[in-house]
Amino acid sequence: MTEQEVVAKLEEAIVSYDEELATKMAQEAVHGDVDPLRAVDDGLVKGLDIVGKRYENDEIFLPELMMAASTFQSAMDILEPLIMEKGQSRSVKGVVVIGTVKGDIHKIGKDILILLMRNAGYEVHDLGEDVDLFTFIETAKKENAHAVGLSALLTSTLSGQKDVIDALKQNGMRDRYIIMVGGGAVTAEWAERIGADLYGENAQIAVRKLGEALSGKEN
Ligand code: B12
């Protein structure tokens, strides 16, 4: 199969909640000459976007959303080792503490970003989902983090990002960390408004901007 066909089938697998097709195509990607990041972005994530729109339009409901997420994970389990294998860097570039903010359990995007950051040579501490602001701050302190990543996919949980930044300011710790924000609900305007250092509309861009921000800090 061509790369194009595999990518299209991965999208189809998510949209039809077909785990068997998803794992089969992920294996095809591993054995064939398919760029695993393309398989994720142009196949799996595109499928999730379609599912998200259908949900928004009341064409499908929560169980379908959950099935799409689990189909995504089954393909990701197979693609992850391949993405890691293609990683270039072995030296630690910096320490990042990341999680999804309080009240929000979305993790797929955060986990892709974690994978790419580890792949690029960062030591990443994943706090998981539904993380309160104290956990972000305490872990950043304990791990001597260079950066703190805050993911939010719900409009109603966006304020959790602001809460962490405000608490850091109140404790005189704001300048210690590069604060990165992202997730479906975040916009560049919001990131600027709450005083984040970096907004990543997708994981690749976030990793690039993090590298730039860290080298800027050293100078
Ligand atoms: C899968 C999914 C779920 C799954 C999540 C499974 C999981 N374990 O993650 C389940 C079924 C559990 C779920 C539940 C809910 N969901 Co939901 N979900 C989605 C869906 C379809 C895909 C999300 C996703 O993973 N996208 C793919 C990833 C790769 O994209 P991403 O997260 O944006 O991440 C990229 C970038 O944003 C960036 N990024 C992400 N995080 C970070 C962090 C940093 C620091 C940086 C720099 C960058 C960055 O990099 C990533 C990779 O490129 C979206 C629709 C959509 N298209 O987004 C709805 C969506 C987010 N969900 C929605 C809703 C409403 C819900 C529920 C409230 C539904 C309900 N009635 O219960 C619950 C909320 C539960 C909760 N408390 O959190 C709405 C949110 C609307 C809003 N704006 O508030 C959406 C937009 C659907 C819709 N169109 O209505 N959901």
| Rounded Cα distance, 198 and 191, in Å | 7
Is 108 touching ligand 1 by the criterion CB < 6 Å?
A: yes
Is 180 touching ligand 1 by the criterion CB < 6 Å?
A: yes
| Rounded Cα distance, 63 and 114, in Å | 26
Mean pLDDT rounded to a whole number for the chain: 94
Torsional sign, CA 110, 191, 176, 140 = negative
Single pTM value for the model: 0.93
Closest protein CA for atom 64 of ligand 1: 154
The pLDDT of 35-56, averaged and rounded, is 94
Closest protein CA for atom 57 of ligand 1: 49
Ligand 1 closest atom vs CA 206: 47
| Rounded Cα distance, 132 and 102, in Å | 5
Band of pLDDT at residue 33, cut at 50, 70 and 90: confident
The pLDDT of 91-95, averaged and rounded, is 87
Distance of CA 100 from the midpoint of ligand 1 (Å): 10
The pLDDT of 10-35, averaged and rounded, is 96
CA separation (Å) from 166 to 53, 91, 175, 197? 33, 33, 12, 13
Band of pLDDT at residue 88, cut at 50, 70 and 90: low
pLDDT above 90 covers a percentage of the chain that reads 89
Contact 79, 112 (CB under 8 A): no
How buried is 20 (Cβ within 10 angstroms: 0-12 exposed, 13-18 middle, 19+ buried)? exposed
The pLDDT of 183-202, averaged and rounded, is 97
Is 73 touching ligand 1 by the criterion CB < 6 Å?
A: no
Closest protein CA for atom 53 of ligand 1: 202
201 secondary structure, DSSP code:
S
